[in-house]
Chain A
Amino acid sequence: MSERIIVPFGPQHPVLPEPIHIDLVLEDETVVEAIPSIGYIHRGLEQLVQKREYTEYVYVAERICGICSFIHALCYSQGIEHIMEVEVPDRARYLRTIWSECSRLHSHLLWLGLFADSMGFENLFMRSWQLRESVLDVFEDTTGGRIIQGTCKIGGVRRDIEQEKLDEMHRTLDPFEEKCRDLGDVFLNDETVKYRLQGLGVISKDEAYALGAAGPTARASGVAMDHRETGYAAYGDLGFKPVVETAGDCYARCAVRVKEVYASIDLIRKAIEGMPDGAIDVKVKGTPNGEFFSRAEQPRGEVVHYLKANGTKHLARARIRTPTLANIPPLVKMLPGAQLADVPVVVLSIDPCISCTER
């Protein structure tokens, strides 16, 4: 048996956008064990719920993550609305869906760029981020913010999108989809990409399910699980179906995200076409009393906001389980057997979001 050595991976590493540390136990160049640790950017955001009014905490929830910010605000707002039995107007549900899918689009395009970078495919990295910029432009146009939108609130949304703007968005979807399909074609069909990704970091369907994997990490292994199936926001009206692959390797995780880009464009198109008229919010009175596990589908998978209210303006507890935390155990199982040079690709294949994970 070769001598075993431990190589620290992270917290600072060229492919890591955020700090996570993994001790890699190696035999020659092969990983035999991986031990992760986190905690470099823990901000105590859950505890802030005791100091911010329940209406203000939407802003804190939105700042848990800079990529899925809107969906954190949405998940939190839906939880409070459930506790207070607030019925959100239809138009607000549709607007929430559009912004949620824009979040997914820009997150997946960001990830595709980072993933290409981890493979050393710099051209593809630049093309992905170029497309992502146009999604951020839509955010800026419709909400005033490129990263933090501030539009979701308890009882609906703060901003409407005028019909002219919706029409303009609808017109740009076809050329945008064409560019995304050109990009996706490289990720799905390029021989060098396939050679680098296929058979790497494999996790079976049973393992993914038993380990509690979430989002594209689970769906790439054949677990057909996507919280949008429960029909929250306007998903119930739009005929949503999850994207599922079966190989369970890095290529399958990439393929799920590429196809989810197409699915998000389709959902935005349907939401614009079916946009109802009417109010965008309802007035919320009183204070919440009760508890609820609010769940939504972020780009990285299912997020859970456990909210416990005690009838005062401050919640007693907000506990946020993010998809990356759920995807750490599958990552620990994916790494053994990989070569050291493949570790960045395998780590990025779960699309780790450490700000979310540590809160």
Chain B
Amino acid sequence: MTVKEEQTIIGVALENLLSEVGKLYADGYRLVQIGCTDIGDSYEVNYSFDKGYQFINLRLTLRPETEVPSITGTYWGAFVYENEMHDLFGIPVTGINIDFKGTFIRTAEKYPLSVTKRGGDRCQNV
């Protein structure tokens, strides 16, 4: 039997992120990915979850340099996506369970996908 896939995108405020993520965890959703998009002078961050092929995205819109709380307290495995978010985009994430402090993805250029393009070699999680 073929299962129908559905996708939903829900905007979320930074201060509600952890509580919304907690609700999805309680509902039995698994974390699929966290991904960033450069939308000019800010970032769109998608937290994607799935349960039985029902795909829910919590969407944050962030200014550069805005600190984002880690969701690793709820989803332990989120550290790979949060470290990637920091290493490629320069978004500071606070409270990651395994914080590589800028060395998870080793690129010649710091924050190669940053909208500010002025990350320099400063590691924001240090």
Q: Which residues from chain A sit less than 8 Å from chain B, CB to CB?
A: 35, 37-40, 42, 44, 46-47, 209-212, 227, 229-231, 235-236, 292-293, 295, 302, 304, 306, 308, 316-317, 319, 321, 325-326, 328-330, 332, 358
Contact = CB atoms under 8 A, between A and B. Distances in A.
A321 B2 contact: no
Given A37-B103, A40-B106, A231 B2 contact: yes
B77 A330 contact: yes
A38 B35 contact: no
B38 A317 contact: yes
A42 B105 contact: yes
A317 B76 contact: no
Classify the secondary structure of A's interface with B. Answer: mixed
A336 to B, nearest CB: 13
Contacts of A236: 2
B76 A210 contact: yes
A295 B38 contact: no
A225 B107 CA distance: 34
A332 B76 CA distance: 11
Interface stretch (B10-18, B26-34, B62-70, B116-124): B26-34
Nearest to A229: B3
Given A44-B112, A211-B76, A37 B104 contact: yes
B52 to A, nearest CB: 9
Contacts of A47: 112-113
26 contacts: A37-B103, A37-B106, A39-B106, A40-B106, A42-B106, A42-B107, A46-B113, A47-B112, A210-B76, A212-B30, A229-B3, A229-B53, A230-B4, A231-B2, A231-B3, A293-B48, A293-B57, A295-B55, A304-B32, A316-B38, A317-B37, A317-B38, A325-B84, A326-B77, A328-B77, A358-B105
Contacts of A332: 98
B79 interface: yes
B93 to A, nearest CB: 16
Contact of B30 (A209, A306, A316): A209
B109 to A, nearest CB: 9
Contacts of B79: 329
Q: Which of B3, B35, B76 gathers the greatest number of chain A CB atoms within 10 Å? A: B35
A39 B112 CA distance: 13
Interface of B: 2-5, 7, 30-33, 35-39, 46, 48, 53, 55, 57, 75-77, 79-81, 84, 87, 98, 100, 103-107, 112-113
A317 B36 CA distance: 9
A316 B105 contact: no
Interface centre among B32, B36, B39, B113 (most CB of A within 10 A): B32
Given A42-B105, A229-B53, A321 B33 contact: yes
B32 A306 contact: no
Nearest to A319: B35
Given A210-B75, A319-B46, A330-B77, 13 more contacts: A39-B103, A39-B104, A42-B107, A210-B76, A229-B2, A230-B4, A306-B35, A306-B46, A319-B33, A319-B35, A321-B48, A325-B33, A328-B77
B32 A321 contact: yes
A248 B5 CA distance: 27
A230 B3 contact: yes
A211 B53 contact: no
A18 to B, nearest CB: 15
A326 B113 contact: no
Contacts of B107: 39, 42
A212 B105 contact: no
Contacts of B48: 293, 304, 321
Contact of A212 (B4, B7, B75, B100): B75
A316 B37 contact: yes
A38 B104 contact: yes
Contacts of A319: 33, 35-37, 46
Q: Which 9 A-B pairs have the closest CB atoms?
A: A329-B77, A39-B106, A231-B2, A321-B33, A319-B35, A39-B105, A211-B77, A236-B2, A317-B37
